[in-house]
Amino acid sequence: MEYTNLGRTGLSVSRLCLGTMNFGPKTTEPDSFAIMDRALEHGINFFDTANVYGWKTGEGITEAIIGRWFAQGGGRRDKVVLATKVFGRMSEWPNDRGLSARHIVRACDESLRRLATDWIDLYQMHHIDRSTPWDEIWQAMSQLITAGKIRYVGSSNFAGWHLVMAQESAARRHLLGLVSEQPIYNLLTRHVELELIPAAEQYGIGIIPWSPLHGGLLSGAIRKMQEGSAGRSTEGRSAEGLEENRPTIEAYEKLCAELGYDPANVALGWLLSRPGVTSPIIGPRTVEQLDASLGALDVSLTDETLARLDELFPPIGNGGPGPEAWAW
């Protein structure tokens, strides 16, 4: 396994991050345990979850599964850099959502209880809260840091200017501020290259891309359909995306075959080559899918191949950051 620093911190995390969103809804608890054990065997030390995962309001099903896995001992908790999130609705009451100081502190305590741990390594805001001032957010986060309940703060689904607001507010309070941002980022979704990633690089904020395979579309979806082994890539939004992008996906899978790499690993390898990216989040439903993802670390993409990928999946505008992406 390869490791890198999380943003500008001294914290070492694996170049692949284990996403746990499938634990509970799609993957049984025993299978989830097996995936987490195998992740440690591979040297993956970075696990990502959220208090809303499990998708039953207020139950925190996925966090609880991870907590029961930690409870088995064997040094599991000490080996893992644990990231979870706060923002989503945890009950029907109005203060059980968002980023008010009240909800941040309460949600953290509840996550700690479910996760059966004394601390969270990376506490992430799952979405921007436009109704809560930054001074209130940082007051709550600093309270949790002082209490030893969290170590670092991250964000998810922010815009570039949100990072600026967050960091400037944190600086006024002499706080470290954000160390990571978790956006959707993949070959088919490159909006973050315009402003978010340049802002993150300026502030030393590591990028942790979610949906690196765009719901399975970049995992060899057409080949799997022909083989009868397609999963997520033929469901709902992914199925619509496949029809919209079929010629591109066909050409992409042909290119991957020429390179001798699995399409999923090319998509992950491309992200690993991108500026500012710390660890793409992989979300295996099985141990076999986890094992296969490790092949991304062996993918080597030449300048010619990167140029071909840009032709298939063009960056927005002229490419690169704004304003040059859309102006002179």
CB atoms within 10 A of CB 310: 14
Catalytic residue among 53, 152, 185, 252: 53
As a residue count, the chain comes to 328
Q: Which tokens go with 320?
A: 């690169």
Q: Which tokens go with 126?
A: 């799952």
Catalytic-residue membership of 53: yes
Cβ distance 6 to 48 under 8 Å? Answer: no
* Stretch (H or E) spanning 65: helix 61-70
First-to-final CA distance of the chain: 42
**Cis status, amide bond into 323, omega within 30 of 0:** yes
Question: Under 8 Å CB-to-CB from 313, ≥6 apart: which residues?
Answer: 187, 188, 190, 248, 252
| DSSP helix/strand/coil, 155 | strand
Distance CA 42, CA 53 (A): 24
Dihedral over Cα of 29, 214, 52, 134: its sign: positive
- Alpha-helix residue ranges (DSSP H) falling in 71-204: 76-79, 101-115, 134-146, 160-172, 196-203
Strands 178-182 and 206-207: parallel
Catalytic residue annotation: 53
